[in-house]
């Protein structure tokens, strides 16, 4: 099988401010394995860069393989290193496999796409007024609010609650202190916040243990802290759930394993994405019926998605019955 | 989809004596879901009986389903109760799914059948002389020795070692006391025994903890103690591996999950079987490339297997490329 790749620069509809910084373009990598398509998105908070992804891809040789159905051999034989690059290869392989078998991936996983939970839509970090304005102008049935600078978070959530009654999730991206989180979480519970992602910085398990014992708080989910199966094991008893993303764990095969592990431990799973085109997000959507929560709005945040994959109907994900990922080239639109 | 079943009485080539008793016929149940074939074998040590299996099957209605690719919905929607009966339904569903997709199951799991480890062949409990004689007359490249009555086990293993140099595994079927196991295990290590299954009765986790700390012993595997994911979690740090069987855990889908869980915890997996025909054992063989150890000799122990499935070449398992399980009716043989 033949591996190739090319740059996939994604232009953001709104420049994106999160606890880690700001950006208006993301430099993903489009990966091909024969006729299969994959995508690698740099997970900056795990030290990934587009350069590192390309360097990893340069070191991979799939020419000894000729059958995409040898998924286990191929994926487990990939060198250690960039999880994002491995995800790109893994997604392309699964697409090639589904195309070869003439089946959409969800059918090859035995899943019912009608069971996919509604996805949330992300409101990026901004002033309380900006965020409320953004919430007012979307018809999304469920919002994910980026917080993380404690001083203003109280005003932000109040402003949002004043303009919308849809379910709200909060993502602090590790931006709170323990004391700040202890003060905020009970208030978020009063506002009916559905869950809170990554309240504390990666590695603060002791802080998480303290938050977990708060009497009144929304369910807690670990995101940036979760990369490997070992990370999931380490979060037993400290969170209600974990956020699994293909780019963090290394692709579809690893995600299926991590979902199984989390569920075996009694943890819920939110399936998330990076800023990614329809390639990677459609791959995740094929697994989404296994998960309790879905946060797969990547393609809604970019203006130059080169593909058409999972479709959105007010938060409801629709997968086509085409083989593999089921991607088509994006219809050309007047610029 | 339509569920039906019929008795599947299996005649043993040699009446089988184990720590739990003796038997010359096993009353399994042949399960059909549309054109898919499955098998339910009563796991007596988990309280299963053929009658209980049939009672469970009577309570299941699959008529609301029409597509075997909705595996997750169908399997997760089965009522609680008999794991063996659920395994029979699950196997038949997977067979129907593979037939519908025109693919052998191992390809739908992304597995390479060349990676399946050699299977062991079972020497049932008997006198030292009987067991040595049985070992002398097989060409199996790996033997699994049933032990479990401590007084004679020392003589048995010595007699076996005097007639064969192939790798030996020991299955105590929970028949040892802690003191007996503490004395025997170092000796088994000296005899080069590859691993020991279920040295102590189910539930003796404290005893297992003691055995695990012995300086010289073969790797320990839990079998009868392992039914659910919770059992696997409870054995972390007490054994090197677990024995997973479709009939214990509820079928292919549950076995895939348990294998993933065990590996995530750093445990090795032996894939085992009950006294089963080629239906259930071929189903297990389709997963076997995921496991470190294989003990799938069921069809070699019975004289009236109605099907032809996985083939054996001196311990090497061979799967056909036919769709689903790939079963054919057994060739008629002169009696």
- Asked if A170 and A197 count as a contact pair (C-beta separation under 8 A), the reply is yes
Whether chain B has a CB inside 8 Å of the CB on A318: the answer is: no
Query: Which residue, among A162, A164, A116, A115, has the nearest Cα to A144 in the 3D structure?
Result: A164
Instruction: Flag residues of chain B having pLDDT under 70.
Output: 16-21, 333-335
Domains observed in chain A: 3-101 (3.30.390.10), 108-329 (3.20.20.120)
Q: How is residue A141 annotated by DSSP?
A: S
pLDDT at B22: 72
Query: Helices B252-264 and A252-264: crossing angle, nearest 10°?
Result: 90
Q: Which residue from B72, B233, B261 is facing A289, i.e. has the nearest CB?
A: B72
Instruction: Show the CA angle centred on residue B195, arms to residues B192 and B200, nearest 5°.
Output: 125
**What phi and psi, each to the nearest 5 degrees, are found at residue A11?**
-90, 125
Pairing of strands B3-18, B21-33: antiparallel
Residue B73 structure tokens = 């919905």
Instruction: Show the CA angle centred on residue A46, arms to residues A45 and A52, nearest 5°.
Output: 110
- Tell me the CB-side half-sphere exposure of residue A156, using CA atoms within 13 A: 27
The nearest CA of chain B is from the CA of A102 a distance in Å of: 9
pLDDT at A103: 97
What does the pLDDT profile of chain A (335 residues) look like in tens digits? 999 999 999 999 987 665 566 778 999 999 999 999 999 999 988 899 999 999 999 999 999 999 999 999 999 999 999 999 999 999 999 999 999 999 999 999 999 999 999 999 999 889 999 999 999 999 999 999 999 887 899 999 999 999 999 999 999 999 999 999 999 999 999 999 999 999 999 999 999 999 999 999 999 999 999 999 999 999 999 999 999 999 999 999 999 999 999 999 999 999 999 999 999 999 999 999 999 999 999 999 999 999 999 999 999 999 999 999 999 999 875 44
CB environment A229-242: b (16+ within 10 A), e (fewer)? bebbbebeebbbbb
**What phi and psi, each to the nearest 5 degrees, are found at residue B274?**
-90, -170
Q: Which residue from B70, B103, B264 is facing A110, i.e. has the nearest CB?
A: B70
Residue A283 structure tokens = 């791959």
DSSP labels for B112-170?
Answer: -GGGPPPBPEEE-S--HHHHHHHHHT---SSEEEE---HHHHHHHHHHHHHH--S-EEE
- Asked if A133 and A159 count as a contact pair (C-beta separation under 8 A), the reply is no
Residue of chain B whose Cα is closest to the Cα of A230: B264
Residue of chain A whose Cα is closest to the Cα of B287: A72
pLDDT at B17: 62
Query: Which residue, among B288, B209, B69, has the nearest Cα to A110 in the 3D structure?
Result: B69
Would you call B193 helix, strand, or coil by DSSP? coil
Taken as a whole, chain B contains a residue count of 335
Helix (H), strand (E) at residue A160 = helix A150-163
Residues B8 and B19: their CA atoms lie apart, in Å, by 24
Residues A171 and A16: their CA atoms lie apart, in Å, by 14
Query: Which residue, among A217, A73, A83, A198, has the nearest Cα to A147 in the 3D structure?
Result: A198
Residue A120 structure tokens = 């949330």
Q: Residue written as tokens 């700001």?
A: A22
Query: Which residue, among B230, B173, B229, B235, has the nearest Cα to B43 in the 3D structure?
Result: B173
Whether chain A has a CB inside 8 Å of the CB on B135: the answer is: no
Instruction: Count chain A–chain B contacts defined by CB atoms under 8 A.
Output: 68
Contacts of A73 in chain B (CB under 8 A): 112, 115
Query: Which residue, among B155, B166, B110, B96, has the nearest Cα to B130 in the 3D structure?
Result: B155
pLDDT at A335: 47
Query: Which residue, among A203, A262, A204, has the nearest Cα to A233 in the 3D structure?
Result: A262
ipTM of the complex: 0.93
Query: Residue B79's CB: how many other CB atoms inside 10 A?
Result: 11
Query: Which residue, among B210, B129, B133, B223, has the nearest Cα to B169 in the 3D structure?
Result: B223
Residues B138 and A10: their CA atoms lie apart, in Å, by 64
pLDDT at A52: 96
Residues B10 and A29: their CA atoms lie apart, in Å, by 57
Whether chain B has a CB inside 8 Å of the CB on A64: the answer is: no
The reply to whether residue B101 touches residue A97, judged by beta carbons under 8 angstroms, is: no
pLDDT at A302: 94
Report the residue of A36, A104, A264 to disrupt the B interface, i.e. the one with the largest count of B CBs within 10 Å: A264
The nearest CA of chain B is from the CA of A113 a distance in Å of: 9
Residue A45 structure tokens = 């908070």
């Amino acid at each position: 099988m033949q591996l190739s790749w090319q740059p996939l620069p994604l232009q953001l509809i709104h420049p994106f401010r999160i606890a880690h910084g700001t950006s208006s373009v993301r430099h993903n990598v489009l990966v091909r394995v024969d006729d299969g398509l994959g995508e690698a998105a740099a997970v900056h908070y795990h030290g990934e860069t587009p350069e590192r992804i390309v360097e990893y891809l340069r070191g991979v040789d799939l020419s000894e393989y000729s059958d995409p159905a040898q998924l286990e051999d191929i994926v487990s034989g990939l060198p250690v290193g960039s999880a994002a690059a491995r995800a790109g290869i893994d997604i392309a392989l699964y697409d090639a496999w589904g195309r070869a078998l003439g089946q959409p991936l969800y059918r090859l996983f035995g899943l019912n796409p009608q069971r996919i939970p509604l996805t949330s839509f992300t409101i990026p970090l901004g002033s309380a007024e900006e965020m409320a304005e953004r919430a007012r102008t979307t018809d999304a049935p469920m919002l994910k609010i980026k917080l993380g600078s404690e001083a203003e978070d109280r005003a932000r959530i109040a402003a949002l609650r004043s303009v919308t009654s849809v379910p709200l999730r909060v993502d602090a991206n590790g931006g709170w202190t323990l004391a700040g989180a202890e003060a905020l979480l009970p208030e978020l519970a009063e506002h009916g916040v559905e869950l809170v992602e990554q309240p504390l910085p990666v590695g603060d398990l002791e802080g998480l243990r303290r938050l977990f014992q708060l009497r009144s708080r929304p369910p807690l989910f670990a995101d940036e802290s979760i990369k490997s199966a070992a990370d999931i094991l380490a979060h037993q008893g400290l969170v209600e759930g974990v956020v699994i993303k293909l780019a963090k764990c290394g692709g579809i095969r690893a995600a299926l394993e991590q979902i199984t592990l989390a569920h075996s431990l009694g943890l819920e799973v939110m399936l998330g994405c990076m800023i990614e085109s329809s390639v990677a997000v459609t791959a995740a959507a094929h697994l989404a019926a296994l998960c309790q929560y879905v946060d797969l709005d990547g393609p809604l945040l970019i203006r130059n998605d080169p593909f058409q994959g999972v479709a959105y109907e007010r938060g409801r994900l629709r997968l086509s019955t085409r083989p593999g990922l089921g991607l088509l080239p994006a219809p050309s639109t007047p610029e």
